[in-house]
Structure 1
Amino acid sequence: MRVEEFDYYLPEELIAKYPAQPRHSARLMVLDRKDKSIKHDIFWNLPLYLQEGDLLVFNNTKVLPARLYGKKPTGGKVEVLLTDYINKHEWYGLVGGKGIKPGLVIEVAQDLRVEVLEQVEKAKFRLRLLSEDPLKALDKHGKIPIPPYLKREEEAIDRVYYQTVFAQVEGSTAAPTASLHFSEELLQRLEDHRIKKTFVTLHVSYGTFKPVKVSNVEEHRVDPEYVKVPKETVELIKETKEKGKRVVAVGTTVVRALETAGYEPYEGWTDLYIYPGYDFKVVDALITNFHLPRSSLLFLVCAFGGKDFVLKAYEVAVKERYRFYSYGDGMLIL
């Protein structure tokens, strides 16, 4: 399959620069794979498309303020973007500036320095955070790494809205965006409809958004990301399936976590790359945002919803002026 088959036209004004407020007021496109119908609604009405006993699976990762500004011992300015969680002290990251090499220590603040351990790729390095409490120091001195296509600096609103309401496990450098639409009120409404929920953890890294630079879809690779699918989640999935109900993945990261684990608890790393032709083992329905053209995220959505149907839905979304990307609207694929 050629990568250009996953291209589509998007006017720049449809890229959402700011989140919908309240979260659940974002638009929801509902795709039915059986009859190929497309309906238009909002996230608040999501319970109307699900059934009692269906199971929503969320990613409870927490976005860290992973963009740091510091200086070298010579006084030269350096920007560091932590991209891949290894542990709370060690990360992979992109370092901008001249003369970046192993052994360099970048001072961000009195209580936070960054040591360059090794060069991995051209501007990507393995880094150590030198701090008594790295996560606390990041929270204090870092900036939320909002996507570059927003074409603006971090604002106070991003600290709240570029984070899910149930974010718990620190380690992501980007939000699991499908979950951003879920307010406390919507979660309560789903519970009132007896729709169940559970969690996995996948720390979203640069690898999720890595540009596809090959011509053939099959040749692309995604970088490994930390994932945990706990025992209680696996038990709930099995119970849901036994009752003939659906496992609804909220976001592409949840799909990759569940399909990596199968029906066993799992903690480790995943580089599972899903594109059309993949045979889904666990996921029955998917909630996801509108993704960039030619991206591995769009390949995954096309694998689940059917390439022609999903790309047709994207055309409809442009025509109906849906909002795209991280702060944009979403779709439910049944």
Structure 2
Amino acid sequence: MHTNPKNLAIKDFVYELPDERIAKFPLPERDQSRLLYCRNHTIADHTFQDLPELLPAGSLLVFNNTKVVQARLIFRKPTGGEVEIFCLEPVKPHREVQLAMQQTRSCTWKCLVGNNKRWKEGPLKIFFEGGVVTAERDAQQDGHFLIRFTWTPAELTFAEVLERCGRLPLPPYLNRELTPEDRTRYQTIYARNEGAVAAPTAGLHFTDNVMNALQTRGIASTYLTLHVGAGTFKPVKADTMEAHEMHAEQLMVSRQVVAQLQQHLGRPLIPVGTTSMRSLESLYWLGALLLLQPDLRPEELHITQWLPYDTKTPPAATEALQTLLDYMDRHQTEHLHASTQIIIAPGYTFKLCNGLVTNFHQPESTLLLLVAALIGEDWKKVYRHALDHDYRFLSYGDSSLLLP
């Protein structure tokens, strides 16, 4: 039975993070970052290149192959002032990120607008080589706007428009201007499906060398997609978690991968990053949900924040995954699309994951709660060790392998 994290106080998940410990820039070589290894309450220092040897034999690593899009658009007004539009998520004609990125001619997105007061009326334009993109305000909702984009040449996809005009959205806490190397270094080497506005940062340490070493060691790997939203940086403002609303993120997985996960049950399943972990656990809960409501339509596949804690008798993992496979067969689809608001916090019982590769997260964040759910009170020991031994923190920082 789950104990419910609704009553957790976020102030219990705080530690002192001096600004100079935040890695402002990536290291010259991705796999030269440090790796804190925590297994059975014991901590050891390594470099990331050692990961293949440290993983339990027979592990399956699960990677998130989302790709960060250049979601920041800087429009200059005729008078010279700047208005920044930050694309958060698509609204129409498609809500699904994959489809929205392939949209041509025009689309509407939910956006944040910087310097909105300067935008008196009328459309804004960005001219680029061979074309122009225009932004118009459709509506204002709490804290954000619906912005309608139109562009020429009309046959360009929205992904291509962002690629030509947009800027990479670096995490706010880096507090610096973009450099040319951010374009490559703030993407994983296996990034494929465009749609994230933040990188799945645990994956930033992987190089071809590390990937080859994994294969040599017989460590299998597989990929799913969770489009990381800006909500990943949303600080917890509420005193207890019950009042914190988790952001929703879009998840995509192939039938082949669900089958692979099912076949691997009983052996170590290790997500690379908190987004992969959220995805894997959400897949289990989707199966549990479909077991109770087999007639849900594909667009109703959504895991709410507290579903795992409100479920009285959760099914076995193999049954949950089989239910997903059966659902995909009934709907004759090779890819499952869903959204998830799952919160993984102390009191959560893991259904699929047996460990985690992850960076060091901000105090009072839902990502730190997830780490604490996995390794319990050891999180304090791990973070104390990292602070005492000069580990680098956050997106461009060092890594850890946590095996409870």
Alpha-carbon separation, structure 1, partners of 2:57 and 2:370: 27
Alpha-carbon separation, structure 2, partners of 1:258 and 1:121: 31
Tell me, what secondary structure is at the counterpart of 1:138? Answer: helix
Kept after mapping to 1: 8 A contact 2:83/2:118? no
Kept after mapping to 2: 8 A contact 1:28/1:332? yes
Alpha-carbon separation, structure 2, partners of 1:184 and 1:322: 24
- Residue 118 of structure 1: aligned partner: 139
What whole-Å deviation, never above 9, does each CA across 1:281-317 have from its counterpart, x for those lacking one? 11111111100000111111111111x2012210110
- Residue 290 of structure 1: aligned partner: 360
Kept after mapping to 2: 8 A contact 1:102/1:118? no
One of 195, 215, 225 as aligned partner of 1:191:
215
**Correspondence 1:107 to 2:125:** yes
What whole-Å deviation, never above 9, does each CA across 1:91-144 have from its counterpart, x for those lacking one? 32210123489985321224222232222222x122333233221121111111
Alpha-carbon separation, structure 1, partners of 2:355 and 2:82: 47
- Residue 56 of structure 1: aligned partner: 61
Q: What is the RMSD of the two structures over their aligned residues, measured on CA atoms?
A: 1.9
- Residue 93 of structure 1: aligned partner: 111
**Correspondence 1:36 to 2:35:** no
Tell me, what secondary structure is at the counterpart of 1:281? Answer: coil
Q: Which has the larger radius of gyration?
A: 2
Alpha-carbon separation, structure 1, partners of 2:123 and 2:148: 9
One of 238, 241, 244 as aligned partner of 1:217:
241
Q: Which moved more, 1:180-189 or 1:231-240?
A: 231-240
Give the drift of 1:64: 0.8
One of 170, 173, 180 as aligned partner of 1:146:
170
Alpha-carbon separation, structure 2, partners of 1:304 and 1:61: 24
Structure-1-length-normalised TM-score: 0.93
Residues 319 and 127 from structure 1, CA distance in 2 versus in 1: closer, same or farther, beyond 3 angstroms? Answer: same
How many percent of aligned residue pairs carry the same amino acid?
39
Q: Which amino acid in 2 is paired with 1:157?
A: E
- Residue 129 of structure 1: aligned partner: 149
Alpha-carbon separation, structure 1, partners of 2:136 and 2:372: 41
Q: Which moved more, 1:92-101 or 1:277-286?
A: 92-101
One of 16, 31, 36 as aligned partner of 2:23:
16
Q: Which amino acid in 2 is paired with 1:9?
A: E
Give the drift of 1:63: 0.5
**Correspondence 1:319 to 2:337:** no
Kept after mapping to 2: 8 A contact 1:24/1:181? yes
Tell me, what secondary structure is at the counterpart of 1:276? Answer: coil
Alpha-carbon separation, structure 2, partners of 1:103 and 1:136: 27
Q: What are the equivalent positions in structure 2 for 1:213-292 lying under 5 Å apart?
A: 213-241=237-265, 244-262=266-284, 263=321, 264=324, 266-292=336-362
Alpha-carbon separation, structure 2, partners of 1:104 and 1:220: 36
What whole-Å deviation, never above 9, does each CA across 1:139-186 have from its counterpart, x for those lacking one? 111111111221211101100100000100000111000000101111
Give the drift of 1:82: 1.6
Alpha-carbon separation, structure 1, partners of 2:119 and 2:184: 35
Alpha-carbon separation, structure 2, partners of 1:50 and 1:102: 56
**Correspondence 1:160 to 2:229:** no
One of 309, 324, 328 as aligned partner of 2:378:
309
Alpha-carbon separation, structure 2, partners of 1:11 and 1:120: 36
Mind listing any 5+ residue stretches in structure 2 that lack a counterpart? 1-7, 102-106, 285-320, 326-335
Kept after mapping to 2: 8 A contact 1:113/1:130? yes
What whole-Å deviation, never above 9, does each CA across 1:10-67 have from its counterpart, x for those lacking one? 22111101112211111111111xx310111011010111234311000000001111
Tell me, what secondary structure is at the counterpart of 1:260? Answer: helix
Give the drift of 1:251: 0.6
Matched positions, count? 328
Kept after mapping to 2: 8 A contact 1:15/1:325? yes
Give the drift of 1:69: 0.5
Kept after mapping to 1: 8 A contact 2:347/2:373? yes
One of 173, 176, 180 as aligned partner of 2:200:
176
Give the drift of 1:253: 0.6
